[in-house]
Amino acid sequence: MDFSFVKDYQMFFVNGAKITVFLAAFTVIFGVALGIVLALMRLSSKKILNVIAGAYIEFLRGTPLLVQLYIVYYGLPVIGIDLPDFLAGVIALSMNSGAYVAEIIRAGIQAVDKGQTEASRSLGFTYGMTMRYIIIPQAFRNILPALGNEFIVVIKESAIVSIIGIHDLMYNADTIRGNIYRPFEPLLIVALIYFAMTFTLSKLLGVVERRLRTGD
């Protein structure tokens, strides 16, 4: 194997990695926000909200991410919504991630002792205040490992956006493969970069978890 090409194409890997990290970060931010809304809808006493959230979650979890990406990228322009490639990728990934995060958050909320909800309501807290100040903060402490795993999954799954022209790590690797006529070596480099990103994130999450346990 010959890796002499790395010197000439190192910025392709660096820039691709940056796009991948930005894409994953935006996806997690919007995915968590969407997940919170969906989780609260699932836990709502209003049946219509419960049904809407349940249908959304089941549909997004029951269809391939590739199909969802195509629907956003090719479907929205049909109705007059023409989005930049990066934004379309973020939206598709966030919609998919939000469905999974919603179930994680719902489980975390339900794991909090119901007595705390009753105590907060007896102190005059509204439902919204109870969720905001009492339940959700505790739920996030419980589900942090699961959310961290979702972030790692997003980093890996973000490679799929290369098919719509986003110059992420995988897209740039394919470009290099075409330029140097070597199908294997660039993929090996990319695999190592993905591993470095996910391994580093996993270790950072481990540090945060230990600090939270120390705080408890």
Residue 52: the pLDDT is 95
Tens digits of residue pLDDT in 29-75 = 999 999 999 998 998 888 999 999 999 999 999 999 999 999 999 99
CB neighbours of 216 closer than 8 A, spacing ≥ 6? none
Give dist(CA 207, CA 204) in Å, integer: 5
- Phi, psi for 207 (deg, rounded to 5): -65, -45
Q: Are 202 and 214 in contact (CB under 8 A)?
A: no
CA neighbor of 2 nearest in space, from 193, 185, 189: 185
| Neighbour tally for 206: CB within 10 Å | 12
Q: Which domains does the chain have, with CATH numbers?
A: 5-215 (1.10.3720.10)
Q: CA-to-CA distance for 28 and 73, rounded, in angstroms?
A: 19
The pLDDT tens digits for 114-164 are: 787 788 878 888 877 888 778 878 887 778 888 888 889 999 999 999 999
Hey, how many other C-beta atoms are within 10 angstroms of the C-beta on 212?
13
Q: How far apart are CA 88 and CA 86, in angstroms?
A: 5
Q: What is the pLDDT of residues 69-91, one digit of tens each?
A: 999 999 988 888 888 999 999 99
86/91 Cα distance (integer angstroms): 9
Q: What is the pLDDT of residue 216?
A: 57
